A = this chain, B = another copy of it.
Amino acid sequence: MELKNLLESLFFVSYRPLTIKELVDFSKKDLLEVEEAIKELSEEYSNNNRGLRIIENNKKYQMASSPENAKLIQAFLQSEVSGELTPASLETLTIIAYRGPIKKIELEKIRGINCSLILRNLLIKGLIEEKAGREDDDNEYVVSLEFVKFLGIDNLKDLPEYEKFNKNEEIDKLLGKTDPLWQSAILGEDEEEKEKKEEEADEDSLDN
């Protein structure tokens, strides 16, 4: 198949992850065809015990070496990837991996703590990526291919119990709820009102 052949060449020469959109534009084929070809290529690699992988995350694809050879490749590149993470980093990355794209406020609801600094830290390390929303609060976070590389899997869906935690009504319910009790109890009605007005003001300034 010609398309698969072209995609393989493209993945090889590209030094960065390619989005599905870029691949569609470049190959001038349908989205479905491209997705199918990537899937075939990726399966060929895994099933035939090849030295290559196509790893995917968040509709971005990049060619990588297969995880079985990790030790020797690491020695060849003389790289010192340790993969050691602090508990806070690990916890945050796990939540983003299973629940991404996820907003900061949702992450904070799960962790019960302000996450500004840890997010900045992970962004700097390139372990997560930020997708800008309409407002700052709407920014969403996903793990990066760089992080997927550590796991030695092709796709986050291969994580244990991924489906169960990715789509989970119980969690959605807990996250979807605002915390009205505490806001009104501690801030008082007035402040809540104020915040609302501020929000409106922000939106105005954006629209203008």
Contact = CB atoms under 8 A, between A and B. Distances in A.
Main secondary structure of the interface of A (DSSP, over half): helix
Most B CB contacts (10 A, CB to CB) among A64, A83, A118, A126 go to A126
The 5 closest A-B pairs by CB, nearest first: A8-B51, A114-B126, A9-B51, A9-B65, A77-B208
Nearest to A149: B205
A164 interface: no
A88 interface: yes
A114 B119 CA distance: 12
A116 B5 CA distance: 28
A9 B73 contact: yes
Interface size class of A (residues with CB under 8 A): 35 or more
Contacts of A149: 205
Contacts of A63: 12
A52 B182 CA distance: 38
B186 A117 contact: yes
Contacts of A130: 113
